Amino acid sequence: MYFLPLFYVTVFQTLSATPKRLKFMHILFVCTGNTCRSPLAESIARQMVLDRQLSGIEVKSAGTHAASNSPASDGSLLVALEQGLDVSTHRAQQLTPELVQWADVILTMGSSHLAETSALGGQGKSYLLTDFSSRGQDNRNISDPFGSDLPVYRETFVELVHEIGNAFDRLVSEHQHRSV
């Protein structure tokens, strides 16, 4: 008799699982220029939606001081590519009242971004990413790699993967509790 290693069993169970449907949800990630952290966060979140077989989730990103139509930074492009993600078509967009209204959940990289989303009407649905993902146990800013070398971008990427994974865990958990 042949037994699959636990890793393969887990992957098979994950891949064969029925997709989890959250109510249609719009998630907006916000940083300063929308060229480093938030495009990475958007790309990571989109991949997690696919990997976790979640449906009904749309993800965007914006910046509080974005130069519209700027591409993702070189560091973000390279780190994303290393991880099998593509941000080459990303174009920065300025945070607007319309984007804030569109979003059901707004996850910001820093406390200044949180203040700006709230000022644009995002009270009650805007959170510091670390605060949301830790359920109030951590309220630090996500490190900003802007102008740094590639290892700093890699550290920020790892930080984002961890925090966004925890944020999705929370969203799924809260949805399941409301559905019961």
Paired tokens of 110: 């820093």
Q: What is the pLDDT of residue 11?
A: 36
* CA 162/CA 141 separation, integer angstroms: 14
Say if residue 57's pLDDT is above 80: yes
Report the catalytic residues.
31, 37, 144
pLDDT at 47: 98
Beta bridge partners of 61: 29
pLDDT of residue 145: 98
Q: Return the closest-CA partner of residue 129 out of 51, 38, 59, 54.
A: 38
Cβ distance 142 to 156 under 8 Å? yes
Distance CA 82, CA 62 (A): 23
Cα angle 34, 98, 75 (rounded to 5 degrees) comes to: 10
**pLDDT above 80 for 7:** no
Number of neighbouring beta carbons within 10 Å of residue 115: 14
Q: What pLDDT is recorded for position 21?
A: 63
Task: Please tell me the predicted confidence (pLDDT) of residue 179.
Answer: 60
Query: In this structure, what are the phi and psi dihedrals at residue 32, rounded to the nearest 5 degrees?
Result: -85, -65
